[in-house]
């Protein structure tokens, strides 16, 4: 069953205890976890698919990190995707559209470094439209772009009509 066919209501995922990420002196190479609203989730890097679109993992319990984007804490945009619902379960980004300016999201890198960023903007884009600058990689600040679905369910497709984009800095 695809995300667009997910029936409502959904089961809320139970936070799982993940083993600690070892702290090393090595430079960070990738993002491995995100903590949002008290729930920690694994982050997996994903490439572009055959249509040059970012391939989103088919799971409610992990987040897709576009491997061509930057690591939180470095100059540039980090691009993350997660589901609101997937296969009858609430996704890690279930409440993404309820975040407010100043809310804190924590990111863990593969060397054990933790980065905290505050929400600076939450925007709803209607009918799945995302302006090009949302997915722009180059930026002069350390910025993370979190993207998920939101809004009403389209009765024809069973999927959400809108997208929510949360910016953290």
Q: What is the DSSP string of 34-54?
A: EEETTEEEEEEEE-B-TTSSB
pLDDT for residue 67: 82
State the pLDDT at residue 10. Answer: 53
Q: Are 10 and 90 in contact (CB under 8 A)?
A: yes
| pLDDT tens over the chain, length 169 residues | 444 444 445 555 555 567 778 788 898 889 999 998 888 889 998 887 777 677 778 888 889 998 888 999 889 899 999 988 888 788 889 889 999 999 999 999 999 999 999 999 999 998 878 888 887 888 788 899 999 988 887 788 777 889 999 999 9
Query: Are β-strands 85-86 and 31-36 bridged in parallel, bridged antiparallel, or unpaired?
Result: unpaired
Say what the pTM is: 0.83
Pairwise CA distance, residues 160 & 115, whole Å: 31
* pLDDT score at 117: 95
From the number of C-beta atoms within 10 Å of its C-beta (0-12, 13-18, 19+), residue 7 rates as: exposed
CATH pick for 31-168 out of 2.40.260.10, 1.20.1740.10, 2.40.50.140, 3.20.20.80: 2.40.260.10
């Amino acid at each position: 069953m695809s995300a667009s066919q997910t029936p409502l209501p959904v089961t809320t995922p139970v936070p799982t205890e993940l083993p600690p990420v070892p702290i090393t002196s090595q430079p960070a190479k990738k993002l491995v976890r995100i903590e949002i609203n008290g729930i920690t989730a694994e982050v997996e890097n994903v490439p572009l698919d055959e249509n040059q679109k970012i391939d989103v993992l088919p799971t409610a319990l992990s987040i897709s990190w576009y491997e061509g984007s930057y690591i939180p804490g470095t100059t540039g945009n980090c691009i993350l995707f997660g589901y609101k619902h997937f296969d009858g379960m609430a996704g890690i980004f279930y409440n993404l559209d309820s975040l407010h300016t100043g809310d804190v999201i924590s990111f863990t890198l593969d060397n054990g470094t933790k980065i905290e960023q505050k929400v600076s903007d939450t925007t709803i884009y209607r009918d799945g439209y995302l302006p090009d600058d949302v997915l722009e990689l180059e930026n002069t600040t350390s910025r993370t772009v979190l993207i998920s679905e939101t809004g009403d369910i389209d009765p024809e497709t069973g999927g959400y009509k809108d997208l929510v984009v949360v910016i953290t800095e």
